[in-house]
Amino acid sequence: MKKIIMMAALLLTVSAFAQKPAGDPKGGISADLLKEISKGFEGTPADIALQNALNSAQITVLSAKAGNLAKMDTHFSDMVKTKGRTNQKSSGRCWLFTGLNVMRAKMIDKYDLGAFTFSQNYVFFYDQLEKANLFLQGIIDTKDLPFEDRKVDWLFSNPISDGGQFTGVSNLIMKYGVVPSEAMPETLCADNTSAMRTQIATKLREDGLRLRAAKGDLQKMKVDMLKEIYHMLALCLGVPPTEFTWARYNSKGEFVDERTYTPKSFYQEYVGTDLENNYVMLMNDPVREYYKVYEIDYDRHVYDGQNWVYINLPIEKIKEIAIKSIKDNTAMYFSCDVNKFLNRDAGYADLGNFDYGSLMGVTFGMDKKERVMTHASASSHAMTLIAVDLKNGKPAKWMVENSWGATSGYQGNIIMTDEWFDNYMFRLVAEKKYVPADVLGLLNQKPTMLPAWDPMFLPEE
């Protein structure tokens, strides 16, 4: 009987495959077509030498152009004053480090401080708590939609992350303030967020299913769920201080004063800028129309905060604003496709660093618009734009302060040629006083709404 059942199951399986619609045979790889395609590798001595080399060294090593680093120049005509370099370690918090570094540079200069840093861990705690609430409230808001709905699917696919963008910086800091790093130091989980994020995401997905199935007081259920998330965060990151004492020293190491602050009073005294209304996000996306305003649905860190809104501008217009800001000693939030043509050891981004085409025997000819359209390029990392080198009034190169530690790249920085900037820079956040009135006037437009799952707007890490 067992053999008969197994044979019947096998026949059903074979029948199912037989009934499966076949693809068009004209579009497949036939034996004759494979024979023709295989002529692409002739097996010449040069081919064999490259094949052997690629089995013993990385493509980036073999494609590196000899002598290109000799072009690297570390002189800059205009540079923002800043001290010390931060390290996000194994986390996706570049957006947060960058936002805090922009404020840090101004505070160091204004108060003649030494190598001061804000606590990234403090703001990150509330970022994770707010994102958990954003997800849970989103599940409540979409409760009547089918589980297969695109927005519901997106919510369960993205319950929480450690990535983000400048809107998160502005909303979180204006709501919760900031503290110096010694008031809430980094922890192992803050430096290595993956395991913590995985556990919180799993818990949130479970809670999301419970909310969709429930018929009682959903807001009360959400509060109980957030208590558990808070508990998990406190175990991993520590409990955020509500009050602390900070001793201030000047750049010479001399004691200035010591006082007690709350996170919000500390922010008001030493920064005081209205982050939500004093800055504007600019973007260079050649796929979409320039001089238009766009908004990304559900792209925020705080449920009652602001969606990501930006003005799309030609690259030359963005450069004008960046130069004006740097000349006034003001750093900017900057993001780009960082790993393209980057020599990580030297901290030098130049289109001439690598010749992948010659190594592989092919050509790569897409421009920036085509790369964005085909998902070959998008913004991946945020850094702090701090310098430009002007030659006859035109930028020759730029420099960003990175958050990969003081020993990474060029003294913790990355130097990029102007040509690289054109091709792989995407976003800049500038103070409104550096933005021309006609550009600011574009904010009066009703933004074009884009979906949260647009790949161009993945969180920066």
Q: Tell me, what CATH number does 315's domain have?
A: 3.90.70.10
Short-list 229, 133, 241, 109, CA closest to 179? 241
Residue 32 burial (CB < 10 Å; 0-12/13-18/19+)? exposed
Q: Is pLDDT above 70 for 222? A: yes
Longest dimension (CA), the chain: 91
Band (453; pLDDT cuts 50, 70, 90): confident
- Checking if the pLDDT of 3 tops 70, the result is no
Q: For tokens 């479970």, what's the residue?
A: 206
In the chain, the percentage of residues whose pLDDT exceeds 90 is 90
**Residue 42: inside a domain, yes or no?**
no
Q: Is residue 2 part of a domain?
A: no
Q: Which of 158, 312, 402, 413 is catalytic?
A: 402
End-to-end CA distance of the chain: 59
Per the structure, the complete domain to which residue 172 belongs is given by: 78-457
Residue 204 pLDDT exceeds 60: yes
Q: Which of 113, 250, 138, 243 is nearest to 184 (CA)?
A: 243
Q: Would you state the pLDDT for residue 34? A: 95
Query: Do 164 and 171 form a contact (C-beta atoms < 8 A)?
Result: no
Residue 21 pLDDT: 58
Task: Kindly tell me the sign of the dihedral angle through the C-alpha atoms of 340, 343, 344, 346.
Answer: negative
The question of whether 381 is a catalytic residue gets the answer: yes
pLDDT band for position 2 (50/70/90)?
very low
Question: Is 9 part of any domain?
Answer: no
Whether the predicted pLDDT of 18 surpasses 60: no
φ, ψ for residue 266, nearest 5 deg: -65, -45
Indicate whether 10 pLDDT > 90: no
189 is catalytic: no
Per-residue model confidence as pLDDT tens digits over 282-335: 999 999 999 999 999 989 999 999 999 999 999 999 999 999 999 999 999 999
Q: Are 136 and 205 in contact (CB under 8 A)?
A: no
Tell me whether residue 72 is in a domain.
Answer: no
Residue 27 falls inside a structural domain: no
Residue 5 in domain: no
Q: For position 4, what pLDDT does the model report?
A: 46
Options 94, 189, 236, 336, the catalytic residue: 94
Number of domains in the chain: 1
Please report which confidence band the pLDDT of residue 190 belongs to, taking 50, 70 and 90 as the band edges: very high
Tokens in use for 236?
A: 């991993």
What's the pLDDT score for residue 146?
Answer: 98
8 Å CB contact between 299 and 308: yes
Residue 461, pLDDT score = 73
Residue 296: C-alpha distances to residues 86, 165, 450, 453, 457 (Å): 29, 12, 5, 9, 8
Average pLDDT of the chain to the nearest whole number = 93
Per-residue buried b or exposed e for 45-76, using 16+ beta carbons within 10 Å of the residue's own CB? eeeeeeeeeeeeeeebebbbeeebeeebeeeb
In a domain, 355, yes or no: yes
Structure tokens at 120: 């990234």
Look at residue 136 and tell me whether its pLDDT is greater than 90.
Answer: yes
Of the residues 171, 236, 381, 423, which is catalytic? 381
Assess whether 402 carries a catalytic annotation. Answer: yes
User: Mean pLDDT across the stretch 99-117?
Assistant: 94
